[in-house]
Amino acid sequence: MSTNEKENGKSIINSEISRRDFIKTSAVVGGSMVVAANVNTAFNKIREFGELSNGVEASGSYPLNDAENIIYSVCLQCHTGCTIKGKIMDGVLVKIDGNPYSPMNMLPHLSYDTPPTKAAKYDAKLCPKGQAGVNSEYDPYRITKVLKRAGKRGENKWEVISFDQAINEIVNGGTFADGTKTPGLKDIRAVTDPDLMAALKTDAMAVAGGDMTLDEFKSKHADHLDLLIDPDHPDLGPKNNQFVVQNGRIEHGRKEFSKRWLKDAFGSINWYEHTTICEQSHHIATIQVTNQYKGDGGWGGGKEQLKPDYANAEMVIFFGTGAFEANFGPTPMSELVTWSLTYRNMKMAVVDPRLSKTAAKAKWWLPVKPGADAALALAMGRWIIENERYDAKYLVNANKAAAAADNETSWTNSTWLVKIENGKPTRLLRPAEAGLGDVDGFVVSQNGSLVVVDPNDADNAVEGDLFAEGTVNGISYKTSFQLYKEETMMHSMEEWSDICGIPLRKIEEVSNEFTSHGKRVGVDFYRGPVQHTNGYYSGTAIVMLNVLVGASGWTGGVGAGGGHWHEDGSKAGQPFPIGKAMHPGKVGSFGVTLTREKWHYEKSTLFKRDGYPAKRPWFPYTGNVYQEIIPSAASGYPYPIQALYLHKGTPAFAAPGGNPVLEAIADPNVIPLVFADDIVIGETTMYCDYLFPDTAIWERWGTPHITPAIQSKTSKFRQPIVDPLVEKVTVFGQEQPISMEAVFLAIAEKMGLPGYGKNGFGDGMDFNNRQDYFLRMAANLAFGDKEDGSDAVPEADDEELRVFREARRHLPKAIFDEERWKSVIGDESLWRRVVFLLNRGGRYEDFSKAYKNEKLGHPYSGLFNVFVDNVAAGFHSLTGEHFHGLPNYQPAQDASGKDLPEGGNDYPFQLFTFKHIYGGQSRTVSNYWAQLGVASENYVLMNKVDSDKLGLKEGDLVKLVSPSNPDGVWKLPNNEVKPVVGKVKPIQGIRPGTVAASWSFGHWAYGASDVTIDGQVVKGDPRRATGVCPNAVMYEDPVLKNASLSDPIGGSASYFDTPVNVVRA
């Protein structure tokens, strides 16, 4: 920040401060001006300073900790979504702290029955980014009205139009200044009849499955073939699927709201969120390893994440993440870890090529080679097996009853037998194959004789041999654990050490420490090891370390967290079953997803046409393959699309290798209609045809789920703290702020989509605005999970009702209308319970329920799959080869399964990125207190030995170049070319041979550059353009050409497999 005296040209005494130029522009940008004007007149009472210095006590004039000025809600500056306490002065959100009722913010948290007037005094912890939410809310670059493109896509020339005009043009088609025309959604929504949708779905699936011929299908549906994307491939679904909704940071609540609208009412299958550009392979690896056997070859119910119980662990290992910066997330996790480090002598190892803030506190910093985390995990596995440091007593348990006999809540398939065919492990051996009768289940060896195991049998304990191999009925077999051992033996310890770049001595030390504390240890991982093409396999190799010591379920071990109450009404007795029912006229949807996700290629008619290799990868085991959405549309595979809606995301900026995405989205021939919501004109949303202002986090509703780092049951509830700055419009006869919800509702009204408006939820239950949806969710949470209502929260008393009303006195009727809200809930008692919940921003189980002595209060109960049969059953859609059922190490590969070439002399450094604590995704550059105030810019970090070799000094400008982007540029169509240039910062705390840049800088939009609205230029803020975003140089897949590299199983986009060079700019 420039606070330079000379610059300001002022006297050193005090008063000659040059006049501030308070620019006022159109009402479009900077809607919060109106609010600002009110603030200055709000406070009159001045207390004399002398009173304080004389020691006279003040009283009552500090308003920020009065319950009447506080609304509890939920942050979303990052995905952790911490519970927050919003402090309001004259309608302005002036400070955000943590919510003392919540385990995320206080250790231990206040009792749930604490009156709000008392809790108001307790401010709880919150990270700097969460606190800087104030800056995001009142970002001067927020848009408040609807914008329509006035130039070419990306030119950043806009006109303000009415909300109704925008909705009309999106539904019926629009015309633009440059002569382009956009199609209307009414022409894309081909199938509108639920019965027809169901009939087409049944028969299309029969065609894909080989149970119906195409001719039979065509003759049966002759009248409706024009409604399909391709009558020759009915499994691609109806034309409705050519409308795609692509979400970035969307969470529970809005997620279900949005899916109900697109998939159930509009009738398109193509709804996506962004998880593959975050950490999806972490989820998929954990889900597959924890999938339960459902019988008849089916698997399901796996957990997305397991986390150590940091508060009680004696040793934890972080792979590619930490506790203090990103992860899930710093506010709840930091204190658990620091307390254990300081007062319990917990040991910590951090695997990260960068000396993160967590690594700075760790006993071991293991600066792994990016992408070689699996090699390290397998080396540890080898050491643990060779030194017999695994928990054999735990691992021999083959089913639930055996586990229970050992006071364990989990068991593994270590002892189950796997078939070996052509020298390769293929699938789990089934009883019939082993001549053990025609029963469901699997087979274990007991001292060499084979017996059947039912994994879920709670009565008959079955143990098995951990190591066994043999032949039965001509089928060779080995145990899962034997095969895992063989994977760890694929390389010597020295070779593993060489591959992962960690000295052998350190691997041994960490392995020894990890296996020296019984079950009070755990491994955590997140994005680092999995945003690679080998992400899934690396993830399973890491989870396996938790399995080896049997840490699951134990206090100080690992667990899936305390969970949450069910907001969707899915529990018997809950008042509003909004998740499954309550949708009259639901149309539904079907078809191959644009990204070919959750779909086996071999079960499609395109496989019958093309065989191997598929034109683009199919992803049978994952969803939300974000980086494939726009590139797939661009290549028209499996089909072209007509319209795209972007919500709270920036695929061009945030996904790796964004240039082809920019090229595609800028071209109306590729995607004829692009519309979006955003709170600021962003890097990708600047390429849309229509841009709607969205409500900001602190103005909206949501029911995000709790991080597994919290061991007690918790349901967070987001609600508006302040009046949204966006324009209000009328939809279904009700005034409401423009928002994602209002856009969907207005389109539903215009198109007559089923399940909206009068009786939209069923008789007597209208669906006219967002509150109609979210208040019912609140009611479900307040009611609880028990059918008899015994799990309900208390009723708010009259004093609590008073506080509730007072705290919302600044909200207009469109945002808070007590009588209307009450009528949505319907019942006085339930309404008072809802108020009790809203007065606390959610519901929180007591801290004492987190633990039951040596066991977690909510332990993970179930099976761990050492051999993942479900994945071993599937095929790589380009090579046609089976996936591997065991953890293993693979180098980075392209879409065709070919190893990528090393960078060599041309590209000698490996690039990676990380998140500092001030940066959320792409939206925290407006945070003048935190990201800009504290960090101000980012750097190209490299080890000093490398910068010395290149003759670079701190502050030198350098460009990053890579094999797929040798010029090192962002090519912004219809705009500029932005070089991938940043300032070098030589440091010691980074692995030599790597370069890194933190995420969240390097903007070209989001207030960083000028935009023209109604002919008036709104100047960008150069402070928001600082630093570098290296994503453009990340590998574009050499086979696909127009997309990043991806993990074919977990679906994660590869961010960290790119060799680069650093050249002087």
Partner 1 sequence: MPVVVNQLENAIVRMMDDLERALQKPPSERRWGMVIDLTKCVACDACTVSCKAENKTPPGVNYTVVIKEEVGTYPNVRSTFLPRPCMHCENPPCVDVCPVSATWKSEEGIVVIDYDVCIGCRYCVTACPYGARTFDFGEFYTEGTPMIAPYETAPTFEYGEERTRTEGESPIGNVRKCNFCVQRLHEGLLPACINDCIGRARYFGDLNDPDSLVSELLRERYSFKLKEDLGTDPKVFYLS
Residues in 172-231 at the binding interface with partner 1, rule: CB under 8 A: none
Question: Binding segment for partner 1 among 15-23, 485-493, 638-646, 1051-1059 (CB under 8 A)?
Answer: 15-23
**Smallest distance from partner 1 to CB 663, Å:** 31
Q: Return the amino acid letter for 788.
A: D
Which 885-924 residues touch partner 1, going by CB under 8 A? Answer: 917-918
Of these, 117, 168, 172, 338, which contacts partner 1 (CB under 8 A)? 338
As a whole number of angstroms, the distance between CA 300 and CA 288 comes to 8
Least CB distance to partner 1 at residue 929 (A) = 5
Nearer to partner 1 among residue 104 and residue 171 (C-beta): 104
Q: Which is nearer to partner 1, 27 or 572 (CB)?
A: 27
Contact 26, 1019 (CB under 8 A): no
Q: 32 or 117, CB closer to partner 1?
A: 32
Q: Which residues of 436-448 are buried (b: 16+ CB within 10 A; e: fewer)?
A: beeeebbbbbbee
> 729: left (phi > 0), else alpha (psi -120 to 50), else beta?
beta
For 202-206, the CB contacts below 8 A with 24+ separation are 203/234, 204/234, 204/235, 204/237, 204/590, 204/591, 205/235, 205/590
Among 74, 84, 119, 126, binds partner 1 (CB under 8 A): 126
Residue that is written with structure tokens 């964004």 in the block: 658
CB-CB contact of 712 with 850 (8 Å): yes
Binding piece for partner 1, criterion CB under 8 A, among 54-62, 277-285, 649-657, 778-786: 54-62
- 40 counts as binding partner 1 under rule CB under 8 A: yes
DSSP H or E stretch at residue 195: helix 194-208
Residue selected from 139, 663, 677, 694 as contacting partner 1 according to rule CB under 8 A: 139
Q: Which of 35, 549, 676, 696 is close enough to bind partner 1 by CB under 8 A? A: 35
Nearer to partner 1 by Cβ, of 339 and 612: the residue is 339
Q: Which is nearer to partner 1, 556 or 672 (CB)?
A: 556
3 state SS of 148: strand
CB of 1009 to partner 1, least distance (A): 13
- Which amino acid is it at 264? D
Choices 60-68, 433-441, 489-497, 1055-1063; region in contact with partner 1 by CB under 8 A: 60-68
Using the minimum distance from each CB to partner 1, give the nearer residue, 124 or 969.
124
Q: How many CB atoms lie within 10 A of CB 423?
A: 6
- What is the C-alpha separation between 31 and 26, in angstroms, rounded? 9
Q: Which residue in the set 70, 191, 277, 323 belongs to the binding site for partner 1 (CB under 8 A)?
A: 323
- How many angstroms separate the CA atoms of 968 and 961, rounded? 4
Inter-CA distances, 871 with 482, 536, 583, Å: 19, 10, 35
- Rounded to the nearest whole angstrom, what is the least distance from the CB of residue 380 to partner 1 in the complex? 19
Smallest gap from Cβ 787 to partner 1, in A, equals 31
475 contacts partner 1 (rule: CB under 8 A): no
Look up residue 514 and give its two tokens.
Answer: 């990890």
From the CB of 727, what's the least distance to partner 1, in Å? 16
Nearer to partner 1, 68 or 187 (CB): 68
Q: Are 1052 and 679 in contact (CB under 8 A)?
A: no
Which of 71, 78, 84, 92: binder of partner 1 (CB under 8 A)? 92
Q: What residues between 483 and 522 interact with partner 1 by CB under 8 A? A: 520
Tell me 672's DSSP state: S
What is the DSSP secondary-structure string of 809-866?
A: TTS-TTT--HHHHHHHH--HHHHHHHHHHHTTTEEE--GGGGEETTEESS---EEE-S
Choose the stretch contacting partner 1; rule: CB under 8 A; options: 99-107, 526-534, 585-593, 782-790.
Answer: 99-107
- Single out the residue of 124, 670, 980, 1028 in contact with partner 1 (rule: CB under 8 A): 124
Instruction: Identify residues 340-369 at the interface with partner 1 (CB under 8 A).
Output: 341-344, 355, 357-358, 360-361, 365, 367
- Residues 1047 and 620 sit within 8 Å (Cβ to Cβ): no
**Does 123 engage in binding with partner 1 (CB under 8 A)?**
yes
Strands of 238-369, DSSP E = 243-247, 271-272, 292-295, 298-300, 307-308, 315-319, 347-351, 364-366
Q: Which of 103, 128, 885, 887 binds partner 1 (CB under 8 A)?
A: 128
Instruction: Kindly identify the residues of this chain, within the stretch 737-796, that bind partner 1 according to CB under 8 A.
Output: none
84, 148, 291, 324: which one contacts partner 1 (CB under 8 A)? Answer: 324
Least Cα distance to 643 among 1039, 213, 243 occurs for 243
As to burial, measured by CB atoms within 10 angstroms (0-12 exposed, 13-18 middle, 19+ buried), residue 7 is exposed
The answer to whether residue 987 forms part of the interface with partner 1 (CB under 8 A) is yes
User: CB under 8 A: which stretch of 137-145, 240-248, 834-842, 1046-1054 binds partner 1?
Assistant: 137-145
Q: Which is nearer to partner 1, 750 or 1024 (CB)?
A: 1024
Among 933, 937, 957, 1012, binds partner 1 (CB under 8 A): 933
Q: Are 1027 and 937 in contact (CB under 8 A)?
A: yes
Bridge partners (DSSP) listed for residue 735? 730
Among the listed residues 94, 212, 420, 489, the single contact to partner 1 using CB under 8 A: 94
Nearer to partner 1, 509 or 817 (CB): 509
146 counts as binding partner 1 under rule CB under 8 A: no
CA distance 657 to 673: 23
Is 52 one of the binding residues for partner 1 (CB under 8 A)? yes
Q: Which of 62, 296, 447, 580 binds partner 1 (CB under 8 A)?
A: 62
Eight-state DSSP code of residue 609: H
Using CB under 8 A as the binding rule, the residues of this chain from 544 to 573 that contact partner 1 are 555
* Residue 977 engages partner 1 in binding (rule: CB under 8 A): no
Closest to partner 1 by CB, 100 vs 982, is: 100
Structure tokens at 646: 């972007």
From the CB of 48, what's the least distance to partner 1, in Å? 8
Instruction: Please report how close the Cβ of residue 404 comes to partner 1 at its closest, in angstroms.
Output: 22
Among 424, 929, 937, 971, binds partner 1 (CB under 8 A): 929
Q: Which listed residue (68, 89, 212, 603) binds partner 1 by CB under 8 A?
A: 89
Please count the residues of this chain forming the interface with partner 1, following the rule CB under 8 A. Answer: 125
Chain residues 1004-1043 in contact with partner 1, contact rule CB under 8 A? 1007, 1018-1019, 1021
Nearer to partner 1, 19 or 580 (CB): 19
If one asks whether residue 1 binds partner 1 (CB under 8 A), the answer comes out as: yes
- Residue numbers 809-868 binding partner 1 by CB under 8 A: 848, 850-851, 853-854
Which residues fall within 8 angstroms of residue 701, CB to CB, at 6 or more apart? 253, 254, 718, 719, 720, 770, 771, 773, 774
Q: How far is Cα 235 from Cα 248, in angstroms, rounded to an integer?
A: 27
Q: Candidates 28-36, 420-428, 589-597, 882-890 — which segment interacts with partner 1 by CB under 8 A?
A: 28-36
User: Of 190-198, 761-769, 937-945, 956-964, which part binds partner 1 (CB under 8 A)?
Assistant: 937-945
Q: Least Å distance between CB 329 and partner 1?
A: 10
Query: Both tokens of residue 374?
Result: 């699996």
Whether cis (ω within 30° of 0) applies to the bond prior to 557 is no
Distances (CA, A) of 732 to 425, 691, 742, 771, 892: 59, 21, 10, 13, 52
Closest approach of partner 1 to the CB of residue 9, in Å: 11
The CB density around residue 624, as the number of other CB atoms within 10 Å, is: 24
* Burial classification of residue 175, based on how many CB atoms lie within 10 Å of its CB (0-12 exposed, 13-18 middle, 19 or more buried): exposed
Sequence-ordered alpha helix ranges (H) in 57-113: none
Residue 934 engages partner 1 in binding (rule: CB under 8 A)? yes
